[in-house]
Structure 1
């Protein structure tokens, strides 16, 4: 762009009317129930990016959700749980602008508001999973993802194990990001496949969203 507002950070463009991050649209606290379907506020056809974290420590807990466009016209999340149930919080981002204020800071493009002062931008950081857990002093959230499948054993029997990415509090009051066992099955015969592993993922730091989402979303 040749004129107008531009926000730079460390010499890089991070915001302009033609270059905008997704913003927080919804925060939902989800009580565990197998197969539970949660409807979001994001209409079908709009971008919908979701991160989650557990909100309490439960030993061996794991979960993932299926994200889909729902029959009622809005994106849905279908939750499934592994070795133990646990409460979770989901953070939902899109290019839809919630809670547009009457006065304040606005960005316009072609006469329409594309950003305002109540928006909380999506800020994603890369995470390299090395098979263990990384401990932090602040809460984080990750996308829902199956990250590893192994089939190990011998000619007599084998174990199939599925792992998912997780984020949440530890038993010592800190927070971690890593993989958790979701399910395992014992079967007769040799291993079925060599499996797969996804070592890279991403995360968001949630302290700002947890503190200000009600003010941002007007709830």
Structure 2
């Protein structure tokens, strides 16, 4: 006999996994559906990895000013593969924490894209999940801009930039809001020549 859950949550990002943990703490039988990694954009492709890269960039900038503090550093070199590895270790460590919490809460994890068949039934791949309630916490995904040439070699998204292991000599960032300026700051500190393209009069105008 299939298990009927009190609540099934579609999406394992901050909204989804936190709701799952709270529901389990209140005694509910919980199913959590996620097609990728738990943690969502913030943990895997957003806030956490970019802050790790920013930290490396900040340490590099401080090292370059070491002489102002009476310290002499003969050689400073950007080891991008090691910087990316550090970022991945931080993300993986936090992900392990989320996995531990879901395991401790006896939350059932279903890997795949969830489809709502009825108000009391969710389907993941070929598996049916009977449920009393459904929470939709699917979050967002990267939007593709209507710009000719986006399919050309060398044009990448922020997701791909988080895993580059070879430092580009130059970089054009389309968009001067928070994410664009953040990536521009990181790679400029690493030694890349960065140009930001922004249609509005000022950078970070919507902040």
Higher Cα radius of gyration? 2
**TM-score relative to the length of structure 1:** 0.24
| Structure showing the higher helix proportion among its residues | 2
Larger strand percent: 1
Q: Which has the higher contact order (CA 8 A, sep 6+)?
A: 2
